Amino acid sequence: MTHIERKIDYDRRLLCFVILLIAAALTLPFIGMGHFYTRGEPREALVALAMIEQGNFVLPVFQGEFAFKPPMLHWLVSLFSLPQGYVSEYTARMPSALAFIAMSVGFFSFYARRYDVRKVFVATLIMMTTFEVHRAAMTCRVDMVLTAFMVGGFLALYSWYERGFKGVPVVASLLISGAILTKGPIGAILPCFALTVFLLIHRIKWTTILRALLIISVMSSILPLCWYVAAYNVGGDRFLQLVLEENFGRFMGKMTYESHENGIFYYFPILAAGLVPWSVLLLLGLFTIKKKSLTKEALVGAWKKFRTMPAARQWAVVVTVCVFVFYCIPKSKRSVYLLPLYPFISLLIADFLVYMVREHRKLFKGYAVFVVSVGFLFSILLLLVPALDLNFLGDSRSSRRLIMQLGELQHMAYGPYYIVMALLPALVGVAAVVMRKKEGVMVTLAFTVWIAALLSLDGLLNPAIKNSVPDFQFAKSALVYQPDGAAYFYRPASEKEETLYTVVFYMDDKLLSYTEGDVLPEHGYIILREANKERFETHMADKFNIAQLLTTETEFTSFRGNLLLYEFRAK
């Protein structure tokens, strides 16, 4: 190895270590801060809890229903929770955080050997600091784990292509198997779709394409098939029905429940929002486009440029386009579905960032000023909130919700921790102002200001937002009345009522379902939605004396409505 090669290898290792440190710092200290505040997080945590309590790691039943997603996330949550003997917010969110860290390090390591190492470093930082990726890394949902496996599958498939499809694609098969075991067949469909498009662009023979697809499909299906067979033996036709609905009904828009149906153009603004703050840079880049860039000749030139670019960069373009186009087809659309394209589009954004710095320095400085200004403003707001009378925000529903969230921030101790965390973006912003004339420093400081803002967000504001949702306090208050026994959840007959997953989790999974017509004991406690209050009181009037004990202070629960706790006693 020459001196230059040793220097390049040292730079790669050093930057990879920096990526590891930043990824860990952005997630691990904060994932345990804040209660579950959406329906999705406690639902996944309850499946893992059921696995531990029942010793059933194939298809556990929780709240009277099967888990309708494959078990990879729940296996990981159970694994991290077993040493302490219970599922907590920290252990429930740890798989997502570790998946984020592994994906960041893996993506950098892969592309740093195939592309300009500093551009790849910038691309990885862009990916790590986008709003959508960071949010997914901090939650107990399948999305980040699925993304890490799928991105790994994309990279491993390209590596197999580089070898001329020689040998057995063991790594690619295992990673795609992990994706299938996280979300279902989509974990294999998308990588195979992107590989097919890429090979067609390179005019690879159909026989070679079909052989590669057959090998990867068969090998990546072996482990998931073992679980599907075992789960069917437990759940039977009911399990099969759930699998078909989740994987095919969702794609065809024929779900039996609300499935996030949106129009074909839904993902354009959603992707822009998910790429914040870097989408602002792309928006500024629109001012650099000339009219002649939109002509037919320019488009032909762009296609020729694509055909001649390095294959690894071509792969990033193909994956980005394939993931985006694929998810535009089904009616069911969610922002997190696009997560697998974020590392690859970040590589393209990094190229654009370098272009802006070289060719449009003033525009990039304007972007850097924007980021620094946001950092200053964020610090000022965090410092001022504890001293503000929040009633000036008004009495609208959105204002009341904001007051509730910022009120939690006011309850935090205004000590050294709060002040330091609040000042982080401003301190880096000051450094940006002082060093603004130094060559190349503004790029580094633009990243650093945003990273500091994310640390402040997760160290202060996000926990306040999560803790402001009243489900946790309501559940703990309900346990005061019934600490050792089960309470009931009232469901009107012939009406679908979604389980109160957050309340169930914080009541130690003691909330039992009660539907009109079921048998109740002579004495007990029952929880219901405020919307069902009148019907519940009418239903109970003949046989029970009832008394309302608790209600949530606001309607801003995880399901957007008030909860009530009643005591009932037979007449």
Task: Convert the pLDDT of each residue in 225-264 to its tens digit.
Answer: 999 999 999 888 888 887 777 776 555 555 555 566 777 8
The pLDDT of residue 279 is: 93
Cα gap 54→46, rounded to integer Å: 12
The pLDDT of residue 207 is: 94
Average pLDDT over residues 67-77: 91
CB under 8 Å to 86, separation ≥6 — which residues?
49, 52
- Count CB neighbours of 377 within 10 A: 14
The pLDDT of residue 254 is: 58
The pLDDT of residue 379 is: 94
Tell me the backbone φ, ψ of residue 310, rounded to 5 degrees. Answer: -55, 145
CB under 8 Å to 471, separation ≥6 — which residues?
35, 36, 37, 500, 502, 503, 506, 552, 557, 558, 563
Asked whether the predicted pLDDT for residue 484 surpasses 80, the reply is: no
With a pLDDT cut of 70, the percent of the chain lying above it is 95
Cα gap 116→110, rounded to integer Å: 11
Per DSSP, the three-state class of 485 is coil
Cα gap 571→569, rounded to integer Å: 6
Cα gap 213→200, rounded to integer Å: 13
Structural contact between residues 117 and 11, judged by C-beta atoms closer than 8 angstroms: yes
User: Which residue did the predictor score with more confidence, 66 or 21?
Assistant: 21
The pLDDT of residue 80 is: 97
CB under 8 Å to 172, separation ≥6 — which residues?
153, 156, 157, 159, 160, 191, 216, 220
Q: Tell me the sheet residues that pair with 514.
A: 490
Task: Convert the pLDDT of each residue in 111-130 to its tens digit.
Answer: 999 999 999 999 999 999 99
CA-CA distances (angstroms) from residue 158 to 151, 162, 193, 420, 562? Answer: 11, 6, 13, 44, 51
Q: What is the DSSP letter of 339?
A: G
pTM for this prediction: 0.94
The pLDDT of residue 250 is: 59
Token representation of residue 381: 């707001």
User: Which residue did the predictor score with more confidence, 189 or 432?
Assistant: 189
User: Which residue did the predictor score with more confidence, 257 or 559?
Assistant: 559
Q: How confident is the model at residue 34 (pLDDT cuts 50, 70, 90)?
A: very high
CA-CA distances (angstroms) from residue 405 to 76, 280, 398, 556? Answer: 31, 27, 11, 10
CA-CA distances (angstroms) from residue 557 to 184, 188, 466, 551? Answer: 30, 36, 11, 11
User: Among 77-91, 145-159, 171-185, 247-261, whose mean pLDDT is lowest?
Assistant: 247-261
Task: Convert the pLDDT of each residue in 381-395 to its tens digit.
Answer: 999 999 888 888 888
The pLDDT of residue 42 is: 95
User: Among 44-48, 366-370, 433-437, whose mean pLDDT is lowest?
Assistant: 433-437
Mean pLDDT for the chain overall: 90
The pLDDT of residue 338 is: 96
Cα gap 421→461, rounded to integer Å: 10
CB-based contacts of 235-240 (< 8 A; 24+ apart in sequence): 235/59, 235/66, 238/66, 239/59, 239/66
Average pLDDT over residues 435-442: 68
- Count CB neighbours of 330 within 10 A: 17
- DSSP strand pairing (487-491 vs 511-515): parallel
The pLDDT of residue 439 is: 58
Q: How confident is the model at residue 144 (pLDDT cuts 50, 70, 90)?
A: very high
Task: Convert the pLDDT of each residue in 497-556 to its tens digit.
Answer: 888 999 999 998 888 989 988 899 999 999 999 999 999 999 999 899 999 999 998 888
Token representation of residue 477: 């208050």
